[in-house]
Structure 1
């Protein structure tokens, strides 16, 4: 505890006095007051419009504003006039390449969603055209994805059996796609894209890996030629369904599936070894479909246990707006499916788009992407499509093929349209086992064990989040895994807020720098002064913890001083550099800390509080209670003032002692 002589130490140097190093000692300024409406407007602008999308409209004539507005909504109007023949050559090659991947993948993923295979082709025609006009990424290739397809099958399958009521199931899939589009567009329009940020990298790695594992296991139905299979997605139900039907396994189908799976994995291996040969892996799925169809046609394997697609209807997308189902019995399921699949597709599409944009050194607007995804799913739900986004595998092929703009999506859509109009009969003999092999090969690439190992080495909690998502998806269900992973991620954010880090700062020798004594071995404590750094905003959720933690730091420091025989503790300095904001609970915490410090005969000082903190401390009259002379610009200023007062007090004590001796 501080000495009684220091209960009322002299005030620090005046605000315009000079520092002990010869520099001016200025007070921390209180920001000028702002009207509440203006302050609220600035806060909302920073929260929802950090990129300030309206800045380009300032000081522009009306005609220019109209042109800029149209370019903002339809980015193709911005880059379209600068489009060149050289760009078209690159986009033509890229579009044809991704079409060769989109056609077999679209058919495969539609079956994964328990939908007619033709819907996979429909979904690769209309949505890419919408995205090419409204999307801001040059590299994203639009189409259906395995995880979204599996989620659709899982969530709708809990309510409607796709085999027993195929029409109802189909109509609910369209309705869920509509709600996914509305949700995505609303997030973009109302600038709520930060919601997707709650899906952390660790969550996505675990969730995608778990979903990929489940998808691979689900394909055992096609590989083994089974007619009946469980609708559950957890590994236990899937394996039980597989091994209770051993007498129905088709060795012909299994052999064919393993051969094509080996071919697909081998082509991917070569493409990874030599990136210039990416087209081998890109063309492998379509090659597998062609070879498989020829093999079945020549050997009549469909009569020997090898299942085939059958007839695919010719023609482009029929309208489906009249098939949207808003029956109250199924509306909740459709909305829930749309929101969940919409969030997952947004997270995947935006993450993929930003990744490739980083490689080419350009930026994409997350909110514009959400609007583009939303509009293409809204349009898709009215034209016999189901959920689409920007899958990584297809976008990677598009990127490696040298695409220049979103015109590659238009080329792909035209290739799919030609297929729908003229080539669908050629898919009659396509074996389902080949489609299963294509899905397995694509999904194995989503199991990113290297990322999981990296998480383990860097951040154990992120690894726990990742594995929780993976285990939840594999052993429970996709929904459980997703909720568990998001819950853990949100809990971590709340823990960071509720339990912020506080550390003791020490002085780096021969400098005026103060750093964490646990991080820097040469940082030493300043005699008689405890310097604490608070590393987070102070809110109601952490104010009680911080009060108790500061009190414990003071106790620990006094115990250390007592054992070491140093000069007693006299001052407590709180470094507020990282405290960006404070609420009324935080201000009350400071009042309580001041009382604790006063009772111990110590003095409290604050270093470098931010503008928002100073504004609230001033309005709450806390600055009057602590004394504004105890607020400093830097920790160095605060330490200098405290040392000055310590020396002043010592000099006074020495002079008083000499006077007493003389008397």
Structure 2
């Protein structure tokens, strides 16, 4: 009776066992995550071209929505750098940053992304995330990190620049370098150094002072808060905002207003392709984080329910003045290290963000934009992994090419074009790679019932029975190659009277491949050769039995390759069993 409810409301599973001890652990984790979320939310909203308060708005209702519907106990949802960059890239051609039209378009993008995720959940399309291969995602993240860092240099230098790719940004930034504002550069550079040192060496330094390793690690991650408080104090004391240092300025106090995005048909049409990409990239990033964290706790993640949870979170962001959200690795890792036990920690983090909006936002007036830029740069450069390009290329040139294409596409063309280029090339390379499957002639290992490639092992091969193993699914790109390869092998073995197709590596035979098998059977029959199948997997056999192929097959169907050879050439089988295996 309760099963459907817990399926669609996973929170009911952990709420029934929720106790005071778990609540205390969640509250501590929520406090740590709230402190981290404040500078990150402001920074990522600025990266998206939106008012800083938008980031705080996106850190309340979306977190509560995910806590209700999500299956991960520790995933921290909120604004993230890559999604924010995609928002800026998607909205730039449509409206001017800072205008009401731009903000409205951002709300609509969040709504559309949420609806796309919900539709994918209803249709159980979580598997679509697999089309974004790891090399493509890795190339996309590295390129996005570099693009984000370059984009934030303008705030670090106190100049203006714009662009959707590296070339445009450099063409805009380089002429502006002589106008660098030195006080802004000093604040930004010192924040950058502080954040970098705290991130990479802070824990070791604090541990040398006698702090426990876990406490030292937690304090080292407070670098953004230290930079935030210190820079506000410096700007306020020396009145650097009057000297030209750009600050966040006025942030409206109070809870986010409930809003409805502009539902203009033309704007929906323009934003829908971007919404699909934002939804898919956000989902892949969230699932990657959630699954890695769940594995540590031996918990299970429901992909289709996660689609619903993230969709609900994005719809909540759209209705509360926020921007598209996703799961963030840094916040999730910090929350888990701080002791987060259940999604209640996210709900408590939302309460912390609401308290900040109600009571403390006036204190953020003099927060320099350069500090937020430094926060973003340090965060995203940690995601850049250019060494992976060389490693992937050495392992697989096809995957390496897809990674390089994505990397170059994002940097030189733009976010959407780059990721579409990577996905498209991955699919093309997959078709290219599988168009010529590995097909091996196999023989019996002496003293055993096993069969191996005649070119790699010392085996006993029958003169009258040609055993051929196919190590790939059979479908339209490689069906014709299978015909050509089989006929070529038969021509090389003129004494063949039986050909056994060993199907242990085949999980699929589509209609095109079935036609090819029928053609192969007919050609072999006309040459006086019978076609047999062995080790056909159950699902493949079920599909073949729906046709008349097996009834018309010139040969037989065998459970194992050993049974096939023992039936068709018992002398060779007996001879192989009697031989001593090579040392």
Is the TM-score greater than 0.5?
yes
Residue in 2 that maps onto 1:289: 228
Residue in 2 that maps onto 1:588: 515
On the 8 A contact 2:409/2:417 being kept in 1, the answer is yes
Q: CA deviation at 1:633?
A: 1.2
- CA 1:540–1:400 in structure 2 vs 1: closer, same or farther (change >3 Å)? same
On the 8 A contact 1:135/1:369 being kept in 2, the answer is yes
Per-residue displacement from partner, 1:373-430 (whole Å, max 9, x unpaired)?
A: 1111112211111101111111111121121111111221111111100100100110
Q: Does 1:213 align with 2:146?
A: yes
Q: Does 1:238 align with 2:165?
A: no
Q: Does 1:136 align with 2:71?
A: yes
Residue in 1 that maps onto 2:107: 174
> Aligned to 1:313, which of 248, 252, 262?
252
Distance 2:275 2:551 in 1: 55
Q: CA deviation at 1:208?
A: 0.6
Distance 2:247 2:569 in 1: 86
TM-score normalised by structure 2 residue count: 0.92
TM-score normalised by structure 1 residue count: 0.82
Q: Does 1:328 align with 2:265?
A: yes
Distance 1:525 1:271 in 2: 65
- CA 1:245–1:615 in structure 2 vs 1: closer, same or farther (change >3 Å)? closer
> Aligned to 2:33, which of 98, 102, 127?
98
1:339-358 map, 5 Å: 339-358=276-295
Residue in 1 that maps onto 2:84: 149
Q: Secondary structure of the residue that 1:304 maps to in structure 2?
A: coil
- CA 1:251–1:553 in structure 2 vs 1: closer, same or farther (change >3 Å)? farther
- CA 1:467–1:647 in structure 2 vs 1: closer, same or farther (change >3 Å)? closer
Stretches of structure 1 that go unaligned for 5 or more consecutive residues are: 1-64, 559-567, 649-663
Aligned length: 566
> Aligned to 1:252, which of 169, 174, 183?
183
Distance 1:615 1:132 in 2: 43
Distance 2:247 2:524 in 1: 80
Per-residue displacement from partner, 1:580-631 (whole Å, max 9, x unpaired)?
A: 3334433321222123323444332211223444455455433343346x22
Q: CA deviation at 1:439?
A: 0.1
1:354-369 map, 5 Å: 354-369=291-306
Q: RMSD of aligned C-alpha atoms?
A: 2.1
Q: Secondary structure of the residue that 1:303 maps to in structure 2?
A: coil
Residue in 1 that maps onto 2:415: 478
Q: Does 1:229 align with 2:156?
A: no
1:488-567 map, 5 Å: 488-518=425-455, 520-557=456-493
On the 8 A contact 2:444/2:452 being kept in 1, the answer is yes
Q: Secondary structure of the residue that 1:302 maps to in structure 2?
A: coil
Distance 2:572 2:169 in 1: 74
| Range 378-387 or range 533-542, more displaced | 533-542
Residue in 2 that maps onto 1:118: 53
> Aligned to 1:198, which of 125, 131, 151?
131
- CA 1:345–1:272 in structure 2 vs 1: closer, same or farther (change >3 Å)? farther
> Aligned to 1:625, which of 524, 530, 552?
552
Q: Does 1:81 align with 2:7?
A: no
Q: Does 1:641 align with 2:567?
A: yes
Q: CA deviation at 1:495?
A: 3.5
- CA 1:583–1:141 in structure 2 vs 1: closer, same or farther (change >3 Å)? closer
> Aligned to 1:262, which of 193, 198, 201?
193
On the 8 A contact 1:278/1:400 being kept in 2, the answer is no
- CA 1:178–1:618 in structure 2 vs 1: closer, same or farther (change >3 Å)? closer
> Aligned to 1:569, which of 496, 500, 506?
496
- CA 1:369–1:584 in structure 2 vs 1: closer, same or farther (change >3 Å)? closer
1:438-477 map, 5 Å: 438-477=375-414
Q: Secondary structure of the residue that 2:77 maps to in structure 1?
A: coil
Distance 1:551 1:260 in 2: 69
Distance 1:197 1:583 in 2: 21
Per-residue displacement from partner, 1:506-544 (whole Å, max 9, x unpaired)?
A: 2222111002334x4334533343211122333333321
- Bigger radius of gyration among the two: 1
1:595-634 map, 5 Å: 595-627=522-554, 630-634=556-560
Q: Secondary structure of the residue that 2:135 maps to in structure 1?
A: helix
- CA 1:131–1:185 in structure 2 vs 1: closer, same or farther (change >3 Å)? same
Distance 2:436 2:571 in 1: 34
Distance 2:169 2:119 in 1: 37
Q: Secondary structure of the residue that 2:440 maps to in structure 1?
A: strand
- CA 1:97–1:613 in structure 2 vs 1: closer, same or farther (change >3 Å)? closer
On the 8 A contact 2:532/2:554 being kept in 1, the answer is no
Distance 1:505 1:580 in 2: 19
Per-residue displacement from partner, 1:93-141 (whole Å, max 9, x unpaired)?
A: 1111111111100000001111000000111111111111111111111
Q: Secondary structure of the residue that 1:245 maps to in structure 2?
A: helix
| Range 348-357 or range 75-84, more displaced | 75-84
On the 8 A contact 1:582/1:612 being kept in 2, the answer is no
